[in-house]
Structure 1
Amino acid sequence: MITILVIITTLLTPITTNTSSLPWNILSNDNFAGKLTTASSSVESAATDFGHITKIFPSAVLNPSSVQDITDLIKLSFDSQSSFPLAARGHGHSHRGQAAAKDGVVVNMRSMVNRDRGIKVSRTGLYADVDSAWLWIEVLNKTLELGLTPVSWTDYLYLTVGGTLSNGGISGQTFRYGPQISNVLEMDVITGKGEIATCSKDMNSDLFYAALGGLGQFGIITRARIKLELAPKKAKWLRFLYTDFSEFTRDQERLISETNGPHFLEGSVMLDHGPPDNWRSTYYPPSEHMRIVSMVKQHRVIYCLEVVKYYDETSQHSVNEEMEELSDSLNYERGFVYEKDVTYMDFLNRLFPPEYDSTKSRFSAL
């Protein structure tokens, strides 16, 4: 009973923010009027992330309406006798407080999203200029309107452009196209002095390569020019199940090395933890679940090789033949191959519906 009362008391205790580490006049600064908040709801939201393991409370949250708001804040910290921590937060999918700013200011990048601007697509140049606060799913929707698409993705598309470019951005396309940070032509970055710099491999290259995958330690990315290509229409999506790890890795390495191999390739592990009730099970026909569960229980661990080839109307026949030949050449457990034909959009967005359902019940705070 005492334990329960302590927990309830803790949950009901109002959050108090410590603003002593901030300049005394920051909250009254006209540049941040209506944008810088110490409201408990905002601070609480900024203190947590997707992992929901750590809580690191900032003193305040900035909801910028423009890049200038961020530069003003960074300049204020840089020019202060005692600088304060700053962290850019996109869609909150970092872990272990990587986007936290203890007793500092968290910058809510998503507050800058403007539906009337933010993504400009060049069909002739095959690139998109994207404000970093936009989600990759929003970029995909916009580019597909013109029949174009970025070439490298993360598995989950509801992440900000600036967030993944500050980390790396990897998925099953990485072996072929490189991570997302290898498919950026140019960026605008706010430096630690509050200066805005445009950079590329040929201009301010040190900043360009430092900011890409730099975990936000070398500046805040505000715009990125993303490389595009013509978008395919469909995806032939196969999964092969293995019980032999050596055969599994040998096949995966061979497919990686092929010149005209798959467009997407990922391997995963399935453990003996009961029915395949995670997001991966939505792929398999319900009639196959018990067969798969039986094989997992028998071997304790099995391996899944996921192979995808993109195509359109003109290449459908040749892709069918290629995938048949590929299937015949692999050393998976015969009888345990599964195939789907889906739209390109549905394949890239494959993680959204299952996570959305679980989010409503388990992660309603996100």
Structure 2
Amino acid sequence: MAADSPAYFTIIMLLSRLLAFMGISKNTDVLGVAPSRDPSAIASASQDFGLIVKSAPQAVLFPSSPQDVASFIQSNYNSSAPFTVAARGLSHSVRGQALAKNGVVVDMISLSSNPQGTGIRISGDGTYVDVGGEQLWIDVLNVTMRSGLAPVSWTDYLYLTVGGTLSNAGISGQTFRFGPQISNVYEMDVITGKGDLVTCSPNQSSDLFYAVLGGLGQFGIITRARIPLEPAPKGVKWIRMLYSDFSAFSKDQEFLISKNDRTDKTALNYVEGSLLLSQASLDPFFPPEDHPRIGALITKFGIVYSLEIVKHYDDQSKSTVDKDLQQLLKGLSYLPDFLFEKDATYVDFLNRVRAEELFLRSKGLWEVPHPWLNLFIPKSGITRFNDGVFKGIVLQRNITSGPLLVYPMNRKKWDDRMSASIPDEEIFYTVGFLHASGFDNWQTYDDQNQAVLQFCQKSGIEIKQYLLQYATKEDWIRHFGSKWNTFQQRKQQFDPKFLLSPGQYIFNNN
């Protein structure tokens, strides 16, 4: 074999990587903890929530402290043939974004019960909580509620890690008013791709701070986040209204999110929307005795649009919350006699998806493929999207299985210095096709996803994907648009060897 042949260099590189890995594994004095090559650990770190992509790492690191993570990454960065590294929380990604093929996965959850970790600590004055990046939002909620406090921005599902959602954006029905979770962070500790452990904020190492928020794990691993707190409500008024006309539905949503001042006590605290496509899509919120007439409505119109709102109350406002809601709902165009209301505790409302999860787990329907598609759509294109996708592709194919969400947000609640990329228009919608499929038919749902994307391209709707994974670097450049040069520069600054989060395939070939 010629010494300058491609195969020769491939073999040399593989041998170098193997020797480097053997050195890393044995160097426990430097690392504090050695990566594990246990087959069960590797198998667990080879797939994510989506169960579509399988990509095995060489090993899994189970750190006891953030210093363990920093030491490992620094040693890896300084080696002659470093491995790619992915931080893994609960791996709620759907396309392998938290995986590291032939690299090392850092199991962040192993920090959660270790006394050397950050844990969850409320400040003495109750204005913020310091939270380990590996902590689950449900645990943050439970701990802060004991002091009558809570963060203001959430995701619909709370069994996700703080570091994971902050690496994406963290959105839900509160986003229109309080911004995404990345707009509600005071400070972070981040381990860069060089192994530097840096405390960053808007006033300290600000380049790293803004890079990491919405940065898809490309610039560092979040080991601590300082989250602002406010007094928690005691309960919520929870309402759903049904529409047969998308124009009326979207107009009312946009009106409701126009009252978005954080200090406005009369404004709503949550606005979301969804599509009802069959009686099977009705959840327990709707009274069982009303299912037949809602089902008849769906049969008549094909699609029924459900507008979901929440208003918080405490002991002082409990007596006036109904009056405030009546004022807000005055003039809305929902179908008469199709307004449904219930009271719930604040925790029960925020943790509402958990009951659905436990039900699906009991039926063996949770650990199945999830060919999701999440999009941000500018207001100017949402009517075309409804006509071409909801009324066209979705109804024609008739395969939708799982929630289909659609609700607006306000761009001014996002900080453009952060890495997250959103549409340029002041109002844009998030649309989530949260499909659950079988192992033998997920491709059918993925084909529908591709049809949706092709429709947007042909129709000139300038969408942005969320929880995304593009196939080519050109796609990523288009996604980030004017932010791409800054994104590249930050990568060179904080992860110059392109080692972090290879499963996103932004700088690493697929």
Q: Work out whether the TM-score is over 0.5.
A: yes
Answering whether residue 180 of structure 2 is matched by residue 179 of structure 1, we say yes
In the alignment, the residues of structure 2 paired with residue 90 and residue 60 of structure 1 have an alpha-carbon distance, to the nearest angstrom, of: 16
In the alignment, the residues of structure 1 paired with residue 253 and residue 124 of structure 2 have an alpha-carbon distance, to the nearest angstrom, of: 35
The structural deviation recorded for 1:125 is: 4.9
Task: Tell me the percent identity.
Answer: 51
The 5 Å alignment of 1:202-213 reads: 202-213=203-214
Name the residue aligned to 1:262. Answer: 268
Asked whether the equivalents of residues 168 and 181 of structure 1 are also in contact (C-alpha less than 8 Å), the reply is yes
Name the residue aligned to 1:51. Answer: 50
The structural deviation recorded for 1:261 is: 2.0
Aligned length: 344
1:208-237 deviations in Å (ceiling 9; x for gaps): 000111011010000000010000100000
Name the residue aligned to 1:304. Answer: 306
Asked whether the equivalents of residues 185 and 225 of structure 1 are also in contact (C-alpha less than 8 Å), the reply is yes
Name the residue aligned to 1:4. Answer: none
1:148-170 deviations in Å (ceiling 9; x for gaps): 00010001000000000111000
The 5 Å alignment of 1:275-314 reads: 275-276=280-281, 281-314=283-316
CA distance 1:282–1:355, shift in 2 (3 Å): same
Tell me which of 20, 23, 31 is aligned to 1:25: 23
The AA in structure 2 aligned to 1:107 is V
The structural deviation recorded for 1:33 is: 7.1
Asked whether the equivalents of residues 22 and 104 of structure 1 are also in contact (C-alpha less than 8 Å), the reply is no
The structural deviation recorded for 1:364 is: 5.3
**Is the partner of 2:320 in helix, strand or coil?**
helix
Name the residue aligned to 1:235. Answer: 236
The 5 Å alignment of 1:127-138 reads: 127-138=128-139
In the alignment, the residues of structure 2 paired with residue 109 and residue 36 of structure 1 have an alpha-carbon distance, to the nearest angstrom, of: 13
The 5 Å alignment of 1:1-366 reads: 20=18, 22-31=20-29, 35-114=34-113, 118-258=119-259, 259=261, 260-272=266-278, 274-276=279-281, 281-360=283-362, 361-363=364-366
The structural deviation recorded for 1:353 is: 1.2
**Is the partner of 2:253 in helix, strand or coil?**
helix
**Is the partner of 1:351 in helix, strand or coil?**
helix
Asked whether the equivalents of residues 32 and 68 of structure 2 are also in contact (C-alpha less than 8 Å), the reply is no
Question: Where do 5+ consecutive residues of structure 2 fail to align?
Answer: 1-16, 370-510
The AA in structure 1 aligned to 2:332 is L
1:300-337 deviations in Å (ceiling 9; x for gaps): 11111111000012111211111123333210011111
TM-score (norm 1): 0.90
The structural deviation recorded for 1:34 is: 6.3
In the alignment, the residues of structure 2 paired with residue 326 and residue 268 of structure 1 have an alpha-carbon distance, to the nearest angstrom, of: 20
The structural deviation recorded for 1:348 is: 0.6
CA RMSD of aligned residues (A): 1.8
CA distance 1:234–1:208, shift in 2 (3 Å): same
The AA in structure 2 aligned to 1:172 is G
Asked whether the equivalents of residues 21 and 103 of structure 1 are also in contact (C-alpha less than 8 Å), the reply is no
Name the residue aligned to 1:14. Answer: none
**Is the partner of 1:362 in helix, strand or coil?**
coil
**Is the partner of 2:91 in helix, strand or coil?**
coil
- Which structure would you say has the larger RCO, counting Cα contacts within 8 Å and 6 or more residues apart? 2
In the alignment, the residues of structure 1 paired with residue 72 and residue 368 of structure 2 have an alpha-carbon distance, to the nearest angstrom, of: 28
Question: Where do 5+ consecutive residues of structure 1 fail to align?
Answer: 1-18
**Is the partner of 1:322 in helix, strand or coil?**
helix
In the alignment, the residues of structure 2 paired with residue 22 and residue 365 of structure 1 have an alpha-carbon distance, to the nearest angstrom, of: 36
The AA in structure 2 aligned to 1:301 is I
The structural deviation recorded for 1:23 is: 2.6
1:23-60 deviations in Å (ceiling 9; x for gaps): 33122222457652111111111111111111011110
